[in-house]
Amino acid sequence: MRFSAAGMQLLKSSEGFRSRVYQDAAGFPTIGYGHRLLHPDSFPNGISEAQAANLLAVDVREAEQAVQRLVKVPLSQGQFDALVDFCFNLGAGRLAASSLLKSLNAGRYDQAEDELLRWDHAGGQEIAALKARREAESELWRNAPVEQQSVA
C-alpha cells in the first residue's frame, strides 16, 4: 500500500512549505515540508520547492515502510494514510512504543483511533495545529472504504 493523494494533501497542508530552516513545535531544526534536519544535513541558502518535494518523497517512503513493518493487522487506505502522516510527523519510534499501535495490532480499531487523537501535545502543552492534524487524520481513518486491505 502507498500513501494516497488525500494523505499527501493532509501532510502538505499540515506542514506547509518553508524554504529556510525553522524550529518545529518540538524545537527541532526543520526545512521544506517538515523535513527534520539531522547531521550532516545543512541548507544554509535554503531550498526550492522541488528540493523540498524530493526530501518529502524520501521521508514519506520511510514513514510508509515503518507503518508496513509495525502494523500487523489489515488497514484501509484511510487508516494507512493516517498512520503514515502520524509517523511522518512524530517518528516511527513514537508509533512503535504507543498504545495506539498496541490497540491497533490487537484489532481494536476504534480504540486505536481514540489513541491517535491524544497525540496533540508538544512540550507538555496542547498545540492547536497538532490537534487539528490529529482530527484530520481521524477523519481519514473513519472515512476509509469499508473493506480492509493488507499493508504487506
The answer to whether the CB of 73 falls within 8 A of the CB of 104 is yes
Cβ-defined contacts of 32-36 (< 8 Å, 24+)? 32/56, 34/59, 34/88, 34/89, 35/59
Tell the residue number behind the cell numbers 513514537, with chain if given. Answer: 94
pLDDT of residue 25: 78
Arithmetic mean of pLDDT, 78-90: 97
Arithmetic mean of pLDDT, 127-142: 95
In tens, the pLDDT along 31-67 reads: 999 999 988 888 999 999 999 999 999 999 999 999 9
pTM over 0.75: yes
pLDDT of residue 76: 95
pLDDT of residue 145: 53
CATH of 5-142, one of 3.90.180.10, 3.30.1490.20, 1.10.530.40, 3.40.50.1000: 1.10.530.40
* Domain ranges for the chain: 5-142
What residues are annotated to the active site? 15
DSSP 27: S
Is the pLDDT at 99 greater than 90, yes or no? yes
Q: Which of 24-33, 57-66, 100-109, 127-136 has the lowest mean pLDDT?
A: 24-33
Is the pLDDT at 149 greater than 70, yes or no? no
pLDDT of residue 27: 85
DSSP 45: T
Separation in Å, CA 21 to CA 17, 36, 49, 127, 152: 11, 9, 13, 21, 35
pLDDT of residue 57: 97
pLDDT of residue 48: 97
Q: Which tops the pLDDT comparison, 147 or 93?
A: 93
